[in-house]
Structure 1
């Protein structure tokens, strides 16, 4: 049965690694619904957060293939309850229809904030889960939606402390080796 999963992949910073990872999903005919990547708290280690709709068995095989890539430290499949996550949405709304209702109330009730105001439009920011962001979009449509965009998932794994300690130890060992070579 297909359901939504979050996959985290910890990598070195290498050109082409995004392509090498996504090709593995493509070969197994798994569509990536969200992809976010950024450096972790450990210099040189990057974290990919990938969301997909798939079956667990397929994803376990994909993670195994990803981990065989040289630049990969580790990759994991997570159920929804294993991660704390948020997504970010920006809404560009026309200023022409502000008289149609109380947009301030919509913003407050959705825990959003105004980022910028221009004579033609203003931009609202909201963080939350996908359905919350889509609900806000529906609330804003009567005010003259101009543009909507959403980030991929940003996630922290609830049990990842041991693994992060391991990565920090690796980074320290690399730094110590570099110092001993250059002394």
Structure 2
């Protein structure tokens, strides 16, 4: 049965690694619905957060293939209850709607905030889960929605401390090796 999963991949910073990872999903017929990547707290280690709809067995095989890539430290499959996650949305709204006092209440009631106001438009920021962001989009449409943009999932795994300690130890060991070679 298909279900939404979050895949985290810890990797070195290498040109083309995004392509090599995504091709593995493509070959297995798994569509990526969200992909976010950034450097972790450990210099030189990057974290890919990939959201997919798949069945677990097929996804476990994909993760196994990803881990065979030389630049990969580890890859994991997580169910929603194993991660804390958020997405970010920006909504550009016509400034004329500010004359209607209801939109300010709508912004407050939905824990959103105004980022910028110009003569023609203003931009609202909201974080939350995907459905919350879509619900906000629907509520804002009557106010002159001009544009909408949403980020991919940003997630922290609830149980990842041991693995992060391992990565920090690797980084420390690599730094010590570098010092030894340069002397």
TM range (shorter): over 0.9
State the partner residue of 1:40: 40
Deviation at residue 95 of structure 1 after TM alignment: 1.1
Rounded Cα–Cα distance in structure 1 between residues aligned with 2:11 and 2:98: 47
* Secondary structure of residue in 2 paired with 1:96: helix
Q: Deviations over 1:44-75 (max 9, x none)?
A: 00000000000000000000000000000000
State the partner residue of 2:163: 163
Deviation at residue 97 of structure 1 after TM alignment: 3.0
Q: How many residues were matched structurally?
A: 183
Rounded Cα–Cα distance in structure 2 between residues aligned with 1:59 and 1:13: 23
Q: Deviations over 1:51-105 (max 9, x none)?
A: 0000000000000000000000000000010000000000000112334551111
When normalised by structure 1's length, the TM-score is 0.98
Deviation at residue 27 of structure 1 after TM alignment: 0.3
State the partner residue of 1:129: 129
* Secondary structure of residue in 2 paired with 1:41: coil
Rounded Cα–Cα distance in structure 2 between residues aligned with 1:112 and 1:160: 30
Rounded Cα–Cα distance in structure 2 between residues aligned with 1:97 and 1:156: 37
- Runs of 5+ consecutive residues of structure 1 not aligned to the other structure: none
- Runs of 5+ consecutive residues of structure 2 not aligned to the other structure: none
When normalised by structure 2's length, the TM-score is 0.98
* Secondary structure of residue in 2 paired with 1:97: helix
State the partner residue of 1:117: 117
Rounded Cα–Cα distance in structure 1 between residues aligned with 2:98 and 2:124: 14
Rounded Cα–Cα distance in structure 1 between residues aligned with 2:134 and 2:93: 15
State the partner residue of 2:102: 102
